[in-house]
Chain A
Amino acid sequence: MPSAMDHRQAVETLALERYLLGEMADQERDAFEEHFFSCVECAEDARAAGTMRDAVADGMAGAVKQPSNRVLRMPAPRRRLASIVLPWAAAASLALVAGYQGLVMRSGLKPIAAPIVLSPVTLRPASRGEEPVVFASAGAMITLAVDLGSGVMSGDMAYEIDQVDGGRIASDRVSAPKDGAPLLLLVPAALFQPGRHYVLRVKNSGNVRLTPADYRFTVGVR
């Protein structure tokens, strides 16, 4: 039996708002429900709130429902194989990137005479776990390994990196990596401000096998 909630508690703790936002633990949720089934005032408030929420969810608050364009924050469950393959694919890809840096990017950067160890941070869709913190690696570059899941086979895709409170850092249209491999990005650390929050968005741009998603991360302060 849940412990009872009284009207004063419900009002003072903004119980209905927390209920609507899904912030209550099961026991508190049960206690609040028990309360609003017995309290006329809270029942009226809950009814109005339910009507409002349903109407907004039906697109009555001015939005046009376009399910195909909506960003999915919970991609479909992936095959376990992808998570096993991912670190190896990331390591192999990083070796290629480091080689590329050594051969092609010499003109813009100081000559590289020895192997570089990069410390990529794997980014996963926003709702999975805590927001990762990334630090600038060797050569003042930030190395991101974006876990796209196992559905992507080939074709193009687009990405955007934005600061959460405004301002685009980078965007491009690139070839999607092979199945199971992450999208690897080396971004100059100078583009980021330490301590700020960023979001990387991948878009399918016609690549129907790619699940659009948000990847959030914070740039750490050393």
Chain B
Amino acid sequence: MTLKLRSRLRSPAAIEDAKQETFVRVLTSLKRKRSLATPETLGAFVNSTCNNVVFELYRSGARTTPLPDQYDEADNRRPGADSAMLADEERALVKTALDGLPEKDRELLRWLFFDERDKDAICRELNIDRGYLRVLLHRAKARFRERFADQKTG
């Protein structure tokens, strides 16, 4: 859901709010109905609830005075000690998995997601086309996923 919301909402606080609101609505609805007609539809139900929440956020945003583009309010909410510890552990595992990737993979990922370089420029630099860029990303992601899973299972 975070992946989906990132493509639609700007600020981390708005993403977190939308996530929480979606969960609240899904859980409230499930509690009221006591069950889902078919368990397989849970994902689709969460997705459509999330869509509704995003549309409502857009609509409420249109009724208020927008803040400047650069404004990003500090998120002052602090996680509890347990969740902070878990998050730190997770970050360490992610870091180790990333460090274990070949340098070429890490460089490509940095260009794409850290430097946010123009994809066509990356293709020109690597002398590849957009189709092959997807393949390179696919391979880097597969290697990351494998290493991350290894880290988690110890």
Contact = CB atoms under 8 A, between A and B. Distances in A.
Interface of A: 14, 16-23, 29, 33-34, 36-39, 43, 45-57, 59-63, 65, 70, 73, 126-127, 164-165, 197, 199, 214, 216
B106 A61 contact: yes
Contacts of A52: 94, 98, 109, 140-141, 144-145, 148
Contacts, number: 117
B121 A63 contact: no
B134 A48 contact: no
B130 to A, nearest CB: 8
Contacts of A126: 118, 121
B135 A14 contact: yes
Given A14-B138, A48-B144, A56 B98 contact: yes
Given A18-B134, A37-B47, A48-B141, A29 B115 contact: no
Interface of B: 2-4, 6-7, 40-41, 43-44, 46-47, 91, 94-95, 98-99, 101, 106, 109-110, 112-116, 118-119, 121, 124-125, 127, 130, 133-135, 137-138, 140-141, 144-145, 148
A21 B98 contact: no
A34 B47 CA distance: 7
15 contacts: A23-B130, A29-B7, A36-B43, A38-B41, A48-B144, A49-B3, A49-B145, A53-B109, A57-B114, A61-B106, A62-B110, A70-B115, A73-B116, A126-B118, A214-B118
Given A14-B134, A61-B98, A34 B44 contact: yes
Interface majority SS (helix, strand, loop, mixed), chain B: helix
Contacts of A37: 43-44, 46-47
A94 to B, nearest CB: 29
Contact of B98 (A22, A23, A55): A55
Contacts of A51: 94, 148
A56 B114 contact: yes
Contacts of B137: 17, 20-21
A18 B94 CA distance: 22
Given A33-B47, A34-B47, A127-B118, A55 B135 contact: no
Contact of A49 (B44, B119, B141): B141
Contacts of A20: 112, 137, 141
A21 B41 CA distance: 28
A49 B110 CA distance: 14
B124 A165 contact: yes
A17 B114 contact: no
